[in-house]
Amino acid sequence: MNTKDRIHQALNDFQIETPSWGYADTGTRFGKFTQDGAAITIQDKLADAGQVHQLTGCCPQVAVHVLWDFNAETSPEDVGQMASTHNIKIGSINPNLFQDQCYKLGSLSHPDIEVRKQAIAHCIDSVQLGQTLDSRAVTLWLADGTNYPGQDNIRARKQRVESALAEIHEQLSQDQLLLVEYKPFEPAFYHTDIADWGMAWSYARKAGEQAKVLVDTGHHYAAQNIEQIVAWLLDEKMLGGFHFNDRRYADDDLTLGSIDPYQIFRIFHEIFAYANDHGAMPTIEYMIDQSHNLKPKIEAMIQTVMTAQELYAKASLVDHDALRGFQDRGQIVDAERALKQAYDTDVRPMIADWRKAHKLPEDPVIAFRESGYQETAAADRKKRREELGINQTSSYA
């Protein structure tokens, strides 16, 4: 298969969820800078996500955060119908176990059984929401942890989480996945209850066969070898999904590839290497998880998707037979050059051909700017905020 055909085949199968919260005003613990074009309602978020899919051709699903995207006035069926009007569907369901005041000392690991019951009930509601919306994945990130030595019994907290995940797993349909995400610190700074991939792996194993590990590229200590984690989880058939972003210091949620694009290429390479050995690509839920608190939100999302496509296309070009030969013979320089040759390939002309074949704009960012959507949405949303008296700095999402 020639270079162009390999890239086209890879892009045909590559899909990425965008996050509903990535279209709304977000910020840091210090505050946020608002944007007139930021989404206000779930209708706005779905419309924006539809724009991204329309222009990139690879984002047919939008992830939702339960407490931010659903309310008493809007049923799940209504949200599903809204999504379909924009030629997308609801993707992963994200429970919110970090916002309510009762979660000050944790959610699934909280010392108080009543708080744990509330957290478990919310997760089960999220599972059922996913069943209603035909969503495959329930993605669980816990802010649970402690800030001071001795604050709580670490082993007891572990056991509480294990018990809760098993209870939640029992409610999954046969087609659903429970994705367990990890993070080494923040908002807890002494210990977090799911601090790394090994802990997430252990929790998922004990929860049940439909539980897998989710890797967020920003949820690691500096200089962590993420592609090694990916290789291990693939080999153990425990890699369920990715949240894509980039970082310079910690969980910065920067645009994918803005700091270290070669790292993302190396991650994709491990996935293609696994597929080469097993004859098929593994099933992985890919999602963008970034905070565009400075960049225009839709443009930043499109930029991220384009970068992901480019790095994925590059990774598809690695000659695995040649690489395995270099590895077996201990030819270190040649092995590294096999990766660099693929990475250094200018794949943009082949991606442009792929977009043309799928009736997509050659440059989705420019096409979006020329569409006028941003100006129209900004004017409409600014007016609605003024009419509703919405204080944009009042909440995270």
- pLDDT tops 60 at residue 392: no
**What is the mean pLDDT of the segment spanning 16-25?**
96
**What is the mean pLDDT of the segment spanning 28-50?**
93
The Cα–Cα gap between 342 and 336 comes to: 10
- Picking from 387, 361, 391, 370, the residue whose alpha carbon sits closest to that of residue 56 is 361
Paired tokens of 243:
């949240």
**What is the mean pLDDT of the segment spanning 170-185?**
98
pLDDT at position 87: 98
pLDDT at position 32: 84
Q: What count of Cα atoms within 13 Å lies in the side-chain half-sphere of residue 156? A: 11
Residue 293: which pLDDT band, with cuts at 50, 70 and 90? confident
- Picking from 205, 216, 212, 206, the residue whose alpha carbon sits closest to that of residue 182 is 216
The Cα–Cα gap between 219 and 146 comes to: 17
Find out whether 304 and 242 touch, Cβ atoms under 8 Å: no
Residue that wins the pLDDT comparison between 269 and 26: 269
All domains of the chain in start order, with CATH = 3-388 (3.20.20.150)
- pLDDT tops 50 at residue 96: yes
Strands (E), 27-170: 61-65, 89-94, 137-140, 145-146
Paired tokens of 169:
């797993």
Find out whether 168 and 124 touch, Cβ atoms under 8 Å: yes
Residue 397: which pLDDT band, with cuts at 50, 70 and 90? very low
End-to-end Cα spacing for the chain? 46
Q: CA dist 363 to 85, 129, 138, 274, 340, Å?
A: 24, 36, 33, 31, 25
- pLDDT tops 60 at residue 370: yes
pLDDT at position 390: 82
Cα 183 → chain centroid:
14
- pLDDT tops 50 at residue 396: no
Residue 28: which pLDDT band, with cuts at 50, 70 and 90? confident
Paired tokens of 202:
């252990």
pLDDT at position 394: 42
The Cα–Cα gap between 269 and 280 comes to: 14
- Which residues is 139 bridged to in the sheet? 179
Tens of pLDDT along 67-86? 999 988 888 999 999 999 99
Tell me if the bond preceding 187 is cis, omega within 30° of 0.
Answer: yes
Q: What is the residue whose two structure tokens read 């491990």?
A: 270
Helix (H, G, I), strand (E, B) or coil at 72: coil
Tens of pLDDT along 226-235? 999 999 999 9
